[in-house]
Amino acid sequence: MKNVFLKSIWKGISQFSFPFLFIVFFCCCADAQKLKHYWKQKLRISEPSDICLNQTKDGFYIVSDDGLLFETDLEGKVKRKAVFHGFDFEGVFADQNGVYVMDERTRIVHTFSLSDLALKRSVEIPYTGGRNKGFESLTWNASKNQFLAFTEKDPTWIFELDQNFSVLNKQKLKGPSDISAAAFSKGKLFILSDEDHAIFRYNPETMEKEKKFKLDIINPEGLTFGPDGSLYVVSDDLGMLYRFDSKPLFE
């Protein structure tokens, strides 16, 4: 009886699965340069979702899915935390005027003061896309003096915003499966995709994809460049801060 059972299984597998698996393996291919982290640090922040360099370049601002804003040193150690508690912070950017934080769930950009991380201003950017497919990133395009806000997926929009967060223009972005974070460095726009486990380099003038770099980490949600030019990436699920050599990104 057992033999009949095993034979019938083998018959099914041999005659159906092998061609099936052959097609699968035939279709496997590698298509991008891989970046490997050389340093990592566990954060005492639950579900970190984005990161940016602070204005004094001696630490980072990190936001979390719990709606919290933190300032850390360059090793990821928390130095202070904002009192205001939002809902689902997904993007952060800082300049000499404040820290700007994007709440994905409410579509609100909050501005915090640099001195005490107190909430100064909240502006809504209307967007009716999925609750968890809303704004994932906020960054500054110095060449156009505009903020850029990115929606996560279905579709991935880039909203161009003035300094008061009024929408000037929006366009669709092609390339990544989704967007987790975005940052400028040396005139290039770098976009992080969680689903692709990759960073995409774009020409910000044409918004054309130039190159793709695979990452070796789970659930990357935020990226920024350190004072020495190193690439930093935070992992949401693992609550980890990773450092990469950024040279390959510019080759």
| Residue placing its CB nearer to other proteins in the complex, 24 or 168 | 24
Q: Which stretch binds other proteins (CB under 8 A): 113-121, 181-189, 217-225, 242-250?
A: 217-225
3-class DSSP assignment, residue 52: strand
CB of 74 to other proteins, least distance (A): 23
**Do strands 78-81 and 59-64 pair parallel, antiparallel, or not at all (unpaired)?**
unpaired
| Residue placing its CB nearer to other proteins in the complex, 78 or 188 | 78
Residue 250 interacts with other proteins (CB under 8 A): yes or no:
no
- Among positions 75-134, residues that touch other proteins (CB under 8 A) are 85, 87, 105-108, 124, 127-131, 133-134
Distance CA 160, CA 133 (A): 18
Residue type (1 letter), 245: D
Residue 40, phi then psi, degrees to nearest 5? -150, 155
Distance CA 215, CA 240 (A): 14
- Among positions 157-196, residues that touch other proteins (CB under 8 A) are 177, 194-196
The DSSP H or E segment spanning 61 is strand 59-64
Residue 40 interacts with other proteins (CB under 8 A): yes or no:
no
Distance CA 70, CA 84 (A): 11
CB of 15 to other proteins, least distance (A): 5
CB of 17 to other proteins, least distance (A): 6
Residue (of 203, 202, 201, 242) closest to 219 by Cα position: 242
Distance CA 139, CA 53 (A): 11
CB of 61 to other proteins, least distance (A): 21
CB of 234 to other proteins, least distance (A): 13
Contacts with other proteins, 46-85, as mask; x by CB under 8 A = xx-------------------x-----------------x
Residue 229 interacts with other proteins (CB under 8 A): yes or no:
no
Q: Enumerate long-range contacts of 203-208, CB under 8 Å, 24 or more apart.
A: 204/141, 204/143, 205/143, 207/158, 207/171, 207/173
Distance CA 217, CA 158 (A): 25
Residue 212, phi then psi, degrees to nearest 5? -125, 140
HSE value, Cβ hemisphere, 13 Å, CA-based, for 166? 3
Number of residues that bind other proteins (CB under 8 A): 52
The residue within the footprint of other proteins, chosen from 58, 75, 154, 205 (CB under 8 A), is: 154
HSE value, Cβ hemisphere, 13 Å, CA-based, for 214? 6
The residue within the footprint of other proteins, chosen from 3, 20, 164, 206 (CB under 8 A), is: 20
Question: Where on the chain is the footprint of other proteins (CB under 8 A)?
Answer: 4-5, 8-9, 12-13, 15-17, 19-21, 23-24, 27-29, 31, 46-47, 67, 85, 87, 105-108, 124, 127-131, 133-134, 153-155, 177, 194-197, 214-219, 237-239
